[in-house]
Amino acid sequence: MSGAGSPRDMATQQGDSVEDALLKKALEGSIPVHVGIVMDGNGRWAVSRGLKRTEGHRAGVEALRRCLPALLSLGVRYCTFYVFSTENWKRPQEEVQFLMNLILEYSREDRSELMRRGIRVVPIGRWKEMPRQVVRALSRLVKDTASGQKLTVLLALNYGGRQEILDAARSLALSYSGRREELRDLSEEDFRRFLYEPSVPDVDVIIRTSGEKRLSNFLLWRAAYAELVFTDVLWPDFGPSDLYRAIIEYQGRERRFGDVRRE
Ligand code: FPP
């Protein structure tokens, strides 16, 4: 964006950085309650620098770290990061191992910083089926950050949207056994109670990096009315300014829930 009134223009006039001007502009609009992020492009980022793909994942953790203060500045209440999908097990064993270690390191190294910032971490997915050490470190992180009030970071780990719906259907069937008659009146709200973290609201906007334009099995139920924002920026290069730009793009959309267009 350029020209009079653009964040770059405002920044030069007022001596702020472009990042500050973008934040200011984003704060003038309505802030999504729940943001979802598909962190894509780590491999391409690394290969383009002559590095191993796994180095892209390491740089991806830094990008996630940079985004947290920016989410806090915006006042976003929930952010779900797609860290490891149920399909990611098909990647080479060395890469899977590397990702498991990164998750383990992150859970241990960032614990106090997350606590200090008032950030609660909640994993979603079949994360308890991950390696025992990783599950243990994550469980501790969940416990130690449980009182965080400012932002809930949901880490989608061994997560699949279809699997979430399937797991919900399975738990629902077990819970209604013996009460089959009641299933006739089952509502969406009744079903929702069986999703992972049912108190977390629908996702308002999903941001996907690296130019790919797919949902890839992410938050399928909760994404029913989400706005989708795509950027060509590769995830390891993503930073606060890119996040603010994505939110500004979301704010420019007219949200529709199947109702009539507002004139
Ligand atoms: C997709 O990029 C990214 C992933 C499969 C992993 C995402 C994980 C992280 C960003 C780091 C882990 C975060 C924590 C909190 C430990 P890709 O490898 O598919 O990229 P490509 O499409 O360029 O190959």
Cβ distance 80 to 203 under 8 Å?
A: yes
Atom of ligand 1 nearest to the CA of 236: 10
Ligand 1 and 160: CB distance under 6 A: no
Cβ distance 157 to 130 under 8 Å?
A: yes
Active centre residues (catalytic): 40, 88
Q: Where are the domains of the chain?
A: 32-160+202-251
The pTM for the full model equals: 0.94
State the chain's mean pLDDT as an integer.
95
pLDDT of residue 115: 98
CA distances from 128 to 145, 154, 226 (A): 18, 15, 28
Q: Whose structure tokens read 């241990």?
A: 108
Q: Which of 48, 57, 119, 215 to mutate to test the pocket of ligand 1 (most atoms within 8 A of CB)?
A: 57
The rounded distance, in Å, linking the Cα atoms of 238 and 257 is 30
**9 pLDDT higher than 60:** yes
Instruction: Name the CATH superfamily, with its identifier, for domain 32-160+202-251.
Output: Decaprenyl diphosphate synthase-like (3.40.1180.10)
The distance of Cα 196 from the centroid of its chain, to the nearest Å, equals 14
| HEC secondary structure over 146-169 | CCCCCEEEEEEEEECHHHHHHHHH
Atom of ligand 1 nearest to the CA of 60: 10
**19 pLDDT higher than 60:** yes
Q: Which amino acid is at 51?
A: L
CA of 166 to the centre of ligand 1 (A): 25
CA of 40 to the centre of ligand 1 (A): 6
